[in-house]
Chains A and B, each alone.
Chain A
Amino acid sequence: MKRGELLGSLEHIILLALARLDGGAHGMIVRREIEKRTGRSISIGAAYATLERLEAKGYVSSFTGEPTAERGGRAKRLFRIEAAGKRALQVSEQTIRSMTGLRSRWENL
């Protein structure tokens, strides 16, 4: 992660969901996890576009599963968070924590 570069809000949420669903999850599971935990309904297209972006940055990796009948004969693409993704989450959360601390000080003035 480049210095000063922060994760976008959807990128952050998707990385957190993947960290929760350790071991690999496909787009729909990620989408459902986010909906369940945040109440925010995101489209499957937005989830895949963000997952692709995260994969290009090296934060997640993907592998193809077996095609199944319930999926109309289409294969699953399972995503997994990588070490770089976990580091990016830490940096992002550290930044947010330090800025939240700043806000508390400002509110106490």
Chain B
Amino acid sequence: MRHESPPVLVCWLLESVVPARYREAMLGDLIEEYNLRAESASPPIAARWIWSQACRSVASIAWSWLCSGNWLISMSIAAGVYIVVGTLKLAVDLSISRLVAPQQATQVVLAPVVFLSAAAIGGCVAARVRRGAMIFLALMVMITVAVSIERKVCTIPVPWWYELGFLTLGPLAVLITPALTGLLVPRAAQPGK
């Protein structure tokens, strides 16, 4: 029997969201049935099925997580990380604008680098303390950027795609960096490896 690999994004999504207590068992069940469906029907049908299962599972897990009250702890951790990293970022921004590069053009180039680094560091710290905190931190970053754009906090004129970059890449940096740096639990070894 040939084993199809399930979509990587589905695995990543579930590995990020499903509690560690039953992550391996649940993913194993999904992969087992995905393989059966890919063989009996076709890989695209199996992919549709696994995506629907993943989306519905994420909703169910999020709901039971909200009902358990654990989200309050995660939100508090995210708020703590947000304040600490936000203060550090502000300090770096001020140093750059006053000491290193007072010119506007240099600031426009350096601002995304500082912002994405701060988001990535914040994501790693939050993921290390508690996985759920990372999701709250991503939401906080997104809301902060949206409010800053709406209130026109940035006095330097910049194109729309520059602002959109902050809005999308900031939360993504929070969510993806911990996975890239291996802070999230690595997937179980594939058979034969």
Contacts and interface: CB of A to CB of B under 8 A. Distances in A.
Interface in A43-83: 43-46, 48-49, 51-53, 64, 67-77
B48 interface: no
B24 A44 contact: no
Interface string B20-50: 0110111111111101000000000000000
Interface in A6-59: 26-28, 31, 43-46, 48-49, 51-53
Interface in B135-193: 188-192
Given A69-B3, A71-B31, A76 B25 contact: yes
Given A43-B56, A70-B1, A53 B29 contact: no
Contact of B31 (A31, A48, A53, A72): A72
Contacts of A48: 18, 22, 25-26, 57, 61
B106 interface: no
B64 interface: yes
Interface in B42-71: 53, 56-61, 64
A67 B56 contact: no
Contact of B26 (A27, A53, A68, A73): A27
B53 A43 contact: yes
A45 B56 contact: yes
A75 B25 contact: yes
Nearest to B21: A52
A68 B3 CA distance: 12
B7 to A, nearest CB: 13
A88 to B, nearest CB: 19
Contacts of B188: 67, 72-74
Contact of B25 (A26, A53, A68, A73): A26
Interface of B: 1, 3, 6, 18-19, 21-22, 24-33, 35, 53, 56-61, 64, 188-192
14 contacts: A43-B53, A43-B57, A44-B30, A45-B57, A49-B64, A53-B64, A70-B1, A72-B3, A72-B6, A72-B27, A73-B190, A75-B25, A76-B29, A77-B24
